[in-house]
Chain A
Amino acid sequence: MAIVIFDGVAYGMLLFLMAVGLSITMGLMNFVNLAHGSFAVVGGYAAAVVMNQLGLGYATALACAFVAAAVLGAVLEFLLYRRLYRAHPLDQVLLSIGLVFVSIAALTYFFGPSMLPFHLPEALQGQVTIAGVGVGRYRLFLIGAGLLILVLLLGMLRTRYGAMVRAAVDNQRVAAGTGIHVQRLFLLTFALGCGLAGLGGALSLGMLGLEPYFPLKYMVYFLIVVCVGGAGTIVGPFVAALLVGIVDVAGKYYLPEAGAFLIYVFMIGMLLLRPNGIIPRKGLA
Chain B
Amino acid sequence: MKRLVLSPAQLRAAELAFWLLLACSFFLAPDHLTLLSQILIFGLFAVSLDMALGYAGILTVGHAAFFGAGAYAAGLLARHGWGEPFTGLMAALVVAGLLGYALSYMVVRGADLTRLMITIGVCLLLYELVNRLSGITGGTDGLQGMVVWPVAGLFEFDLFGKTAFVYAYVMVLLMFLLVRRVLRSPFGLALRGIHDNRKRMLAIGSPVESRLRMAYAFSAAIAGVAGALLAQTTQFVGIESISFNRSAEILIILVLGGTGRLYGGLIGAIVYMLVHDAFADLNPEYWMFWLGIFLIAVVMIGRGGIMGALSRLVRVKEQAR
Chain A interface residues (CB < 8 Å from chain B):
26, 32, 80, 83-84, 87, 89-91, 93-95, 97-106, 108-109, 113, 212, 220, 223-224, 227, 231, 257, 259-261, 264-265, 267-268, 271-272, 275-276, 285
Contact = CB atoms under 8 A, between A and B. Distances in A.
B117 A227 contact: yes
Contacts of B291: 98, 101
7 contacts: A80-B300, A95-B295, A97-B251, A98-B296, A100-B292, A102-B296, A105-B292
A109 B118 contact: no
B288 A104 contact: yes
B271 interface: no
Contacts of B182: none
A264 B113 contact: no
- Interface majority SS on A: helix, strand, loop or mixed? helix
Contacts of B118: 268, 271
B106 A89 contact: no
Contact of B292 (A89, A99, A109, A264): A99
Contacts of B251: 93-94, 97
A214 to B, nearest CB: 14
B53 interface: yes
A261 B125 contact: yes
Contacts of A84: 299
Interface of B: 53, 59, 61, 106, 109-114, 116-118, 120-122, 124-125, 128-129, 131-132, 244, 248, 251-252, 255, 259, 285-286, 288-289, 291-296, 298-300
Given A220-B120, A220-B121, A275-B109, 12 more contacts: A95-B299, A98-B296, A101-B288, A101-B295, A102-B292, A102-B296, A109-B289, A220-B244, A223-B117, A259-B128, A259-B131, A264-B121
B252 to A, nearest CB: 8
A224 B59 contact: no
B218 to A, nearest CB: 20
A285 B118 CA distance: 18
B286 A105 contact: yes
B129 to A, nearest CB: 8
A184 B251 CA distance: 33
B122 A268 contact: yes
A268 B106 CA distance: 9
A105 B117 contact: no
Given A80-B300, A227-B117, A268-B125, A109 B285 contact: yes
B61 A93 contact: yes
B248 A97 contact: yes
Nearest to A272: B106
Contacts of B109: 275
A222 to B, nearest CB: 11
B111 A276 contact: yes
